[in-house]
Every structure is written in structure tokens, then in C-alpha cells.
Amino acid sequence: MSRKASTHRAPCRHTQPPRPAARSDRASAGVKTRLGNRMYRIFVRDMWFPRLCGGIRGVVSMKGAPSSRGTFDGLSILGSFHSFRRFSERRSSAQGALWDIVGVMVTITDVAREAGVSKTTVSYVISHNPRISEETAKRVRGAMSKLGYVVNHSARALSTSKTMTLGLQVNAAENRRVSLTRGAYLCELADFARQNGYDLLLMSNRNGVEGIRDIASAGKVDGLILMDVTCEDPRVDAAIEAGIPTVLLGLPDDPKGLDEVDTDFERAARELISLFKRKGHREIALVHTPEESLGKGANFAVRFRRSVMDEAEAMGITLHVPPRQDWSMPPAEKLRNMLTRYPDISGVIIDDDNTIISTPQVLLELGVSVPDDLSVAVVVPDVLREQMRIPYTAIDINLPAVAQEAVETMVRRIEHTDAPSVTRLVSQPLTDLGSVKTL
């Protein structure tokens, strides 16, 4: 008996399932938000998004990338929209579902409405315009935080003809020593620059003043921060000639009208010498950050050394400073030499990071007890003292505060190029850990 050939064909596994016959069928499947249905209808049923993906796939193919569905096609992206639809169905309202799509598109108008101010006021707050009161600025920043507003730096750069980039030049040619403080400064400056809407372009000083001229002629930055400023720094003249708004992170002998920001090392010297004076000390020593040469060395090291010497003389304290040949010694060896050379001292002030870190081990090896045998006070970044557990009374340098002041001074200078120059010295607290004893 002959069997009739079956005309039934198994469905091809590549055949797409038929589209729903009616919208009500989809609704009966559990779709509860009209907005979710509408987005699904626009992007999936009417195939606008698949057509777009097809166009993208064609472009990718033209560039030599595979165009098979196994690599890049609209179906994989449509799967994401199916997932989005299922997620939207779990939302409590249509507004919530819409926010999932466009919530990241908060505009300056939304911020102004939320804060109850004009768009111009919001713009002024973003650019740190000094005419805005702190109360208004706080309200605007609160609205920005609440709505998740993020400044579109690219759009801002286009609208203002700015690069939204700050240059930061370190003076590595003058100081090749490893500096933990410099590394911490770089991180803090980068963070605060970003908070103010700027990227940071790091420059070494290997090209010196030529590097400043190059970035000025190429228009790479809107402003320049100079680190590791020396007492007679040739970069000051180069920055002025280049016409770049510039902030000096340090105090040269002659800033020539440029803005200056730094730690108040003069006040730090007064506080430390006053502490030793109150405790009855009459003979102490200073181990300071190495200087390349008097008058041309790192300005903060020169300023601190001079201030300590002046304050000690004024208060009748004998102060010993290691001779120049000891300045370039390894930190541990420098400290040992100092203790050997001045056996009668009752205390020591240290403002060199590397020496501070090695001091506990050196004193342990020498059998010197702090503060019973020797009183110790240091000048150190607070983050370094806390993380390295430096056990000494200290002037804590608040690096974030100095970095923030430097960046905000830079931003104000960019916005107001004709404003009078400023010198801002950040005072630092004295943290007494009991390492200076009373005699």
C-alpha cells in the first residue's frame, strides 16, 4: 500500500514566530503599562529599531566586520528591549517606565526648575561665578545632585570655545627624588579639576619653558598650574609671555602678578617653634626637604627653613641645620649623621617625607626612645601620617584643601582674567600626639 507523501513541514528553527494578531493579545499576556506597550509598539512591532540596526549592520559590513546574525545584528539588541519591556511592566507607574529611558537626559532647565532659579544662575554656579551667593549655589548643587545632573563637558567646550582642560606641569628636572606628597597632590588636583568640569593634562618639565610655549601655541589648555615652584622659577616668565591664565602652587620670590596658592609654611614654623619653647626646649635640630641650591631650590623648603630659623632665633632657641653636603644623603643616613653631629639636642623637627617615614626604624636601631630620649615633631601630609601611622606630633598638611584652593583659583582666573592677582595660604592644624615632652 502506497503511502501518501506528507505535505506537513517541520518549522525551521530560523523562522521567526508570527507576530501577535492583535494588541489585546499582548495586553492579555500581562502588559500592564500603556507606556510600556507604546514603546514596545514603536521599537519592536513597527520595526523602526530593527531597521536602524539593519542599517548599522550594513555600515559595519562595509568596514570589513562580519555581518552575520551570529555577530552583530538587530535581534541581539531587540532582546535588550524585550528585557526592558519586562522590567517596565514591574514599575508602578508609566512615569517610572519613561524615566528608565530618558532619566539620564536631565537638562540645565530641569535643574533650574528644581532649584527655583534661572538657567543663567545654574550656569553661573557651574562656572563658579563669585556673584552667586553660597546659599543659592548650595541649593543649585542640591538640585543637580537630586536629579543626577552631569555637566556635558563636550557641549560646554563647544559653546564656550574652551578646551575644558587644565595643564599641570611638575618640575621633575629640579627634583628627581621620589615624592609621596607630589603623587598625592596629582590625584587631588585631578579629582578637583574633574569636579569643576575640567580634565587635567600632566606635563613634565623636561621641555621646560618650551613645553609651556607649545601648549599655548596649540591651544591645548585653558589654564596652567605650575607645581614644584622654585624661588627663581623661569616658568613664571614663560607663562606670562604665553598669555595662559596661570596659578603657582608655591611662592616664588617674584610671582610677577600671577596667582599663588600654597600651605602656610611660615605659620607652621611659628607653631612648631612655639611648641618647643613652651615645653622648655633650648636646643633642637631641623631636618628639612633637600634644596637644590639656595635661592633656586624648592620654594616651600626654603621658606620653611628660613621661617624656622627666624622663629628659633626670636625665641632664644638654638637651632642646628645639617650642612649642605648632608642634604643629598639617603634619609636614614642623614638622620643618623644629624644625631651624631648634635648629641646635645633635645628635639628635632622634620619636614622631609622620606626622612619622616624612615625615622621610627632609625630611632629603633639606635635605641632612642621618643619622647623620653628625643622629642620629635614633623610637617607631613595628613593622609601620609594616617596611612603610614606616623606616631609624632605633626603639622598636618591638608592636601585636598590646598588642591581644591588651587583648582578653584584657576577656574576663577579663567573666568575673570582681569581680576587682581591673589595669594592664598592654607593654614594647617597641629595634631599633638605627645611626642614632644616637657623638660
Specify the pLDDT at position 291: 66
Structure confidence at residue 172 (pLDDT): 60
Q: Provide the pLDDT confidence category of residue 336 given band limits of 50, 70 and 90.
A: very high
Task: Quote the percentage of the chain above a pLDDT of 70.
Answer: 69
Q: 224 or 26, which is more confident?
A: 224
343-358: per-residue pLDDT in tens? 999 999 999 888 999 9
| Weakest mean pLDDT among 122-126, 211-215, 383-387 | 122-126
285: pLDDT strictly greater than 90: yes
Per-residue pLDDT at 123 exceeds 90: no
Higher pLDDT, 156 or 14: 156
* Of residues 130 and 331, more confidently modeled: 331
Which three three-digit cell numbers place residue 166? 587644565
108-150 and 165-259+402-426 share one fold:
no
Band (72; pLDDT cuts 50, 70, 90) = very low
Question: Comparing 283 with 123, which gets the higher pLDDT?
Answer: 283
Q: Which fold has domain 108-150?
A: 434 Repressor (Amino-terminal Domain) (1.10.260)
pLDDT at 408 over 80: yes
Distance from C-alpha of 414 to C-alpha of 410, rounded to nearest angstrom: 6
Check residues 76 and 344 and name the one with the higher pLDDT: 344
Tell me, what's the pLDDT at 178? Answer: 58
Q: What local confidence, expressed as pLDDT, does residue 106 receive? A: 80
Mean pLDDT of 176-190: 78
CATH number for the 265-397 domain, one of 3.20.20.370, 3.40.50.2300, 3.30.470.20, 3.10.450.710? 3.40.50.2300
ω before 371 within 30° of 0 (cis)?
yes
Cβ contact 282:346 at 8 Å: yes
24 residue type, one letter: S
Q: What is the pLDDT of residue 157?
A: 53
pLDDT at 12 (0 to 100): 47
| DSSP symbols for 158-207 | HHHT---EEEEE--TTT--S--HHHHHHHHHHHHHHHHTT-EEEEE-STT
Is residue 267 within 8 Å of residue 426, measured between CB atoms? no
Mean pLDDT for the chain overall:
77
pLDDT band, very low/low/confident/very high, at 62 (cuts 50, 70, 90)? very low
pLDDT of residue 325: 81
Q: Which of these, 101, 57, 100, 98, lies nearest to 75 by C-alpha position?
A: 57
Predicted TM-score (pTM) of the model is 0.65
Question: What stretch of H or E contains 370?
Answer: none
The answer to whether residues 252 and 231 touch, using CB atoms and an 8 Å cutoff, is: yes
Q: What is the pLDDT of residue 430?
A: 92
Tell me what pLDDT residue 128 has: 66
Rounded to an integer, what distance in angstroms lies between the CA atom of residue 157 and that of residue 160? 5
- In this prediction, what percent of the chain has a pLDDT beyond 90? 41
Topology of domain 165-259+402-426, per CATH?
Answer: Rossmann fold (3.40.50)
At residue 77 the predicted structure's pLDDT band, cuts being 50, 70 and 90, is very low
Q: What is the mean pLDDT of residues 298-309?
A: 90
Which of 129-143, 206-220, 289-303 comes out lowest in average pLDDT?
289-303
Which DSSP state fits 214? H
Q: Where are the domains of the chain?
A: 23-102, 108-150, 165-259+402-426, 265-397
Confidence of residue 95 (pLDDT cuts 50, 70, 90): very low
Residue 296 has pLDDT above 80, yes or no: no
The tens digit of pLDDT for each residue in 235-251 reads 999 999 999 999 999 99
Q: How far apart (Å, rounded) are the C-alpha atoms in residues 273 and 285? A: 11
Task: Kindly tell me if the per-residue pLDDT of 133 is higher than 60.
Answer: yes
Cα angle for residues 148, 152, 155 (degrees, 5° grid): 155
Of 23-27, 88-92, 97-101, 293-297, which has the strongest mean pLDDT?
293-297
Q: What would the pLDDT profile of 144-169 be if each residue is shown by its tens digit?
A: 888 888 766 555 555 556 788 999 99
